[in-house]
Amino acid sequence: MARKHLYLILFLVGLCCAPSLMAQQQDSLPAPDTTTHRYKRFTKKDYIPKFTATVLGRYELNTNNWGQHFELRHTRIGVSGSVHPCFSYMALVDLTFGGKFSPVAIFAKYKPVKGLSFLIGYDKMPFSNENLLSPYQYYFSDKSFLTQKITAWSDVGGVIEYQWDKTVPFTIKAGVFNSKGFGRQTEFQKRLNYVARGTFQFFKGFTLSLNYAAVIPDNLRMHVMDAGIAYDIHNLHLEAEYIYKMYDEANMPATHAMYGFAYYKFNIEKKALSNISLSLRYDAISPNCNGIADDLGHYTYDTFYQRLTTGLTLIFIEKPVRAGIRFDYEKYFLHKNSNKELDRLICELIVHL
């Protein structure tokens, strides 16, 4: 398995070093959009892959005990493109996510008509707003507890998506995924993961998202309901999200999680600096079970968490590439019997191609 990972890394690195890279710079990695069911004639330019690379490195200082460390948070590379007006692909991997190789998204996509698409492969389950962001799009160095502890689901599966761009634009997604993980995708499975997501734009700058997932990481089925709102007005971004998580075991109490934050960007637009952003977030999660039993068959809950995060982000260039420095301070408020040595100061470098 390690040798296969090495071959994949070398293959993607070789692709990213191809001469066409300089001509294909982008600040995102979208799957190509097919706007008609009629086939068009592809040119050589249409076949050229699009490449991306993201590196996030950070320094952390624990302000309770003055411990410190450096961390290579993400080293993400990827390629996407089309081979036909209706068929596209994407391969995105993290070479050093938490010190380990990790696939992010590897799939094929079929789009027969405008607005409708089908996807099969390995991907994030379409659930929650923050969970679906790429690392260079994060508003804070660390994701909220809601995303870190509940919604970070990925597996091999299939997703159907429909987009409507008229009076009230909306996007509906529904997916079925394996429950055994990337390394056990060839096993026949009787209990799968199910997910559905809808986003609605009722007026300019405002988005409502509604999500449902039924996931089974081991033998315990968990039902997760989520509602989120986001509002952009001028340079201010406001966002909030709430999760309610139930367990099939009758005696297991439900889990609640939420976050809310404000992010304001000051446009500088000077040669040396594009913008400066100030941010403030509150997030919390009640005791949560990950759905995996211990050796005795018991399910355990972790502790109650609350956190206040303040941030300052300096973006030197935003498009067509992105580069900046982020400073965050996280203040934790935990149960009296919990370890409180979590407060930290984070300095992070952001580079995205």
Q: What tens digit of pLDDT does each residue of 220-253 get?
A: 999 999 999 999 999 999 999 999 999 998 889 9
Q: Which of 12-26, 36-50, 238-252, 263-277 has the lowest mean pLDDT?
A: 12-26
In CATH terms, the superfamily for domain 2-352 is Porin (2.40.160.10)
Amino acid at 52: T
Residue range 14-37: mean pLDDT, rounded: 40
Residue 58 forms beta bridges with which residues?
Answer: 71, 348
- Please report the pLDDT score of residue 271 as a whole number: 81
pLDDT at 49 over 70: yes
Per-residue model confidence as pLDDT tens digits over 258-294:
999 999 999 997 888 999 999 999 999 999 999 998 8
Per-residue model confidence as pLDDT tens digits over 198-222:
999 999 999 999 999 999 998 899 9
Q: Which of 55-69, 160-174, 337-351 has the lowest mean pLDDT?
A: 337-351
Per-residue model confidence as pLDDT tens digits over 132-189:
999 999 999 999 999 999 998 999 999 999 999 988 999 999 999 999 888 889 999 8
Instruction: Report the share of the chain in percent with pLDDT over 70.
Output: 86
